[in-house]
Structure 1
Amino acid sequence: MKPARFLCPVPDHHGTCALEAAVADPAGPRAEPVDGAVVVRGTLTDTLFTAVRVCHPTRYVTLDDDTLVIWPAPRPGT
């Protein structure tokens, strides 16, 4: 059975969400929301990392080997 389409839970996008496009490929990486963050696992490229950073300008995005994380937005006043 094909997994459900991933919808990025980050409300603020600059343009089309590069992450949604990347995980739409059945052979591509897998993404899941985790406590306000988005964790992506799979074969990830610097190009995808840059595209995710561009379309999520208010979030801190990290890439470590095969895991990309879009961190939760900081809470107001923190």
Structure 2
Amino acid sequence: MTKLVENEQLKLTAAWLNTLATAIFTVGGFGPIVSYGFGLVPNTIERPTVFAAAGTCLVVATTIHLVARNVLGGLSE
């Protein structure tokens, strides 16, 4: 495989991981907080639970994003 092909495959992998991180943040982190702010979360779910779940998703999304950045470090010239 040529360097160009390897670089493109690494960029594709990094883009996929970054898209996954964005989806996790949007659905699991941003969505519940906005829903809670607009009063769309059922009363049976307490505020700390919503923010703990959102925080967990934020940490997971950030970790995946950093892995994607690390993948890009493998590009060759």
TM-score (norm 1): 0.27
TM-score (norm 2): 0.27
Structure having the higher Rg: 2
Give the structure with the larger strand fraction: 1
Give the structure with the larger helix fraction: 2
